[in-house]
Amino acid sequence: MLNSFYLAWQYIRFYKLRSTILIACITLITFLPLSLQLLLNKSEDVLFQRASETPLLLGAKSSPLDLVLNSLYFDDETPTLISLNAADIIWDSEMASAIPLYIRFKARKTPIVGTTLDYFSYRKLELSSGRLLNLLGETVIGANVAKRLNLKVGDTLLSSPETVFDLAGIYPLKMKVVGILQPAYTIDDEAVLVDIKTTWIIEGLVHGHEDVTQIKDQSVILSSDAENVSANAKLMHYNEITEDNIDSFHIHGDTSQYPLTAIIVIPNDEKSGTLLRGRFINHEQYQLVKPITVIDGLMESVFRIKHIIDGVVFLVGIATLLAIFLVFSLSLRLREKEFATVFKMGGNRLTTAYLMSTEIIIIGFISLVACFLLLMLITHYSTEIVRLLIIQ
Amino acid sequence: MININGLKFNYSDFVQQYNGFQLAIDELIIDANEKVAIVGPSGSGKTTLLNLLSGIYVPQTGSIEIAGTHISQLSDKQRRAFRINHIGFIFQDFALIDFLTVQDNIIHPYRISKALKLTKDVVERIQVLAELMGISDKLNRYPQQLSQGEKQRVAICRALLPGPSLLLADEATGNLDPDNKQKILELIFNSADTFNATLITVTHDHELLPHFDRVIDFKTFVSSTKAVVQKENGKVSGQKGNFHAQ
């Protein structure tokens, strides 16, 4: 047996290219369906877990999937915006509490989640260092963000403009990291959490600038009377909130009309939830969706596609196995002389079968080990892959 | 050493294309340590005789006795064990395994049969044999890295390693240039002497015949249905056998 393994191994080693191709074929054909199943199971877990922890979501009447993916998994696709007064509707109903969300901006490719402190307690997010949000311009970052961007409490993080040519003039905001979360093993590990007003500062709706009444450079002033002073674009806007300039930050307009992407609605009880959903069934502006139902629909579509992929992989698998069979048949013919020599010297005719079987076993074993290692790798990065391939 | 009696063999049981061929040997005796050359036209049964002597083929009638063992009466498994223990094969095309190193090629018989045990002594003997054949510095090379002469030296080492009492060489010098031909033949002769082995060589090369103790010419035999036995130096010593091919 050992000799068969030795000889088969020498053969595999000598014909490296042929063996590598065979191993790669078997590895891929085994790995593809298994990894697909693994990723789908993982995505099912990730998506369902988060969805089941979020009873209801209020958003604009558009795609429920966009609303759920953005609010729960911080997807890049921003849903149609709603205004802050939608939260008042929920509060006024006295049947549920509301946690506003504004998930639109990014800082170094990481989603900025504008919300309130209720979000932290609702998602059971614990701090590993620092403190929670107190002031405008402060941020608490997820564990993975801190690791990936090498940030610690006291560092700053700059928000990114929405587009490279941001002519609307949304200035990057330098945010101060005041807290780092413990790993929650959810998408919150990948988030930059800020107060909802901070996201409005990033958007330019809340801003701070030099006191126009105190400016010495008169070229900045457009007009001035007893009640109003108008300044031109030369007026310096602050891109960092400090103790010195925090008082200069102010809101223009009606805050109830300020934008949100969604509101997490937490009904007081099941009945309240049902009643609330009833109220929004035919609402003109808003929709109140049950995330678990939306995700269920999404997974149904994903699994329908998976069945098609399974079929394709099955056919490719058969083709690969036939090709492998052909390779071994040709190999058998090419090695006829070698096997004849073995027999002439006194070897059993079955030696040929032993050698070929051992070779197949070794190649199969290496392929399975390679497949196993790849699956381990996929398992290790499954959350990131699911986020990259399915959520985004 | 070898005693063949009333042997009759045809391929009808094996290969259809040889249907009609028949080898018949009434009597053939080859002494221990004798060096015998078999010559004759293609298809006259020279290689068939080697295959019968090694037990690859079994005659339909008659007996083959080698060193006191009636190999035609042995089972397939016993014949294989006898072959690997007592018979060394040297082929015209060397029959080396291209994916094995020289050392692994020499050791190959020990890896393909349980009848031989691979021990430390065997591995040490490889070194001795390799030095004897002048290939001790090439043990880690692959056959494709060797010259024709070196390949045949490796094949001889492989044939000699189990210490056979009978060496069968089928056109062993057929693929070699004249210089190498002489050297390899010399090596085979010396090896047979060193290991006290009987040597039977099939050859088409008449220049080499004077070196042998005896030459059996299948062509003469076919026409006369008598064995022709020649002694070394071209002297005819008389008949020692009686065989024919049809």
pLDDT of residue A164: 58
Residue of higher predicted confidence among B173 and A213: B173
Q: Give the whole-angstrom CA distance, residue B7 versus residue A271.
A: 103
Q: Nearest C-alpha of chain A: how many angstroms from B120?
A: 16
Amino acid at A377: L
For residue A387, pLDDT over 90 is answered with: no
For residue B156, pLDDT over 60 is answered with: yes
Apex CA B82: angle with CA A339 and CA B77, to 5°?
65
pLDDT tier at B246 (50, 70, 90 boundaries)?
Answer: very low
**CB contact at 8 A, A176 and A206:** no
Q: Which residues on chain B are in Cβ contact (under 8 Å) with A343? A: 56
Q: Which residues on chain B are in Cβ contact (under 8 Å) with A348? A: 77, 80, 112-113
Mean pLDDT for B43-66 is 88
Strands A221-224 and A229-231: antiparallel
Instruction: Identify the sign of the CA torsion A386, A389, A391, A392.
Output: positive
Q: Give the whole-angstrom CA distance, residue B112 versus residue B85.
A: 12
Instruction: State whether A10 and B111 contact (CB < 8 Å).
Output: no
Q: Which residues on chain B are in Cβ contact (under 8 Å) with A7? A: 100, 111-112
pLDDT tier at B224 (50, 70, 90 boundaries)?
Answer: very low
pLDDT tier at B232 (50, 70, 90 boundaries)?
Answer: very low
Residue of higher predicted confidence among B244 and A60: A60
Instruction: State whether B108 and A345 contact (CB < 8 Å).
Output: yes
**CB contact at 8 A, B98 and B136:** no
**CB contact at 8 A, A71 and A279:** no
Q: Nearest C-alpha of chain B: how many angstroms from A344?
A: 7
Q: Nearest C-alpha of chain B: how many angstroms from A8?
A: 10
Q: Which residues on chain B are in Cβ contact (under 8 Å) with A350? A: none
Q: Which residues on chain A are in Cβ contact (under 8 Å) with B108? A: 342, 345
For A175, phi and psi rounded to 5 degrees? -100, 145
For residue A10, give the nearest of B77, B85, B99 by CB distance. Answer: B99
* pTM higher than the cut 0.80: no
Q: Which residues contact A258 (CB under 8 A, 6 or more apart)?
A: A83, A84, A200, A205
pLDDT of residue A352: 80
Instruction: State whether A346 and B97 contact (CB < 8 Å).
Output: no
> A139, A80, A81, A148: which is closest to A112 by C-alpha?
A139
Mean pLDDT for B141-155 is 92
| CA B123 and chain centroid, separation | 24
Mean pLDDT for A149-171 is 77
> B151, B119, B118, B121: which is closest to B134 by C-alpha?
B151
pLDDT tens profile A205-264: 877 666 666 666 777 677 777 677 776 666 666 677 777 777 777 777 788 889 999 999
**Average pLDDT of chain A?**
87
pLDDT of residue A76: 86
pLDDT tens profile A46-64: 888 889 999 999 999 989 9
For residue A155, pLDDT over 90 is answered with: yes
pLDDT tens profile A286-309: 999 999 999 999 888 888 888 888
Judged by a CB distance cut-off of 8 A, whether residue B109 touches chain A is yes
Mean pLDDT for A77-103 is 93
For residue B99, give the nearest of A11, A342, A346 by CB distance. Answer: A11
Instruction: State whether A346 and B109 contact (CB < 8 Å).
Output: yes
What region, left, alpha or beta, does residue A246 occupy, with left being phi > 0 and alpha being psi -120 to 50 degrees? alpha
Q: Nearest C-alpha of chain B: how many angstroms from A354?
A: 10
pLDDT of residue B227: 40
How many other CB atoms are there within 10 angstroms of residue A6's CB atom? 15
pLDDT of residue B229: 41
For residue B95, give the nearest of A11, A14, A341 by CB distance. Answer: A341
For residue A346, pLDDT over 50 is answered with: yes
For residue A346, give the nearest of B98, B115, B142 by CB distance. Answer: B115
pLDDT of residue A205: 81
**CB contact at 8 A, A115 and A71:** no
pLDDT of residue A233: 65
Q: Nearest C-alpha of chain A: how many angstroms from B79?
A: 8
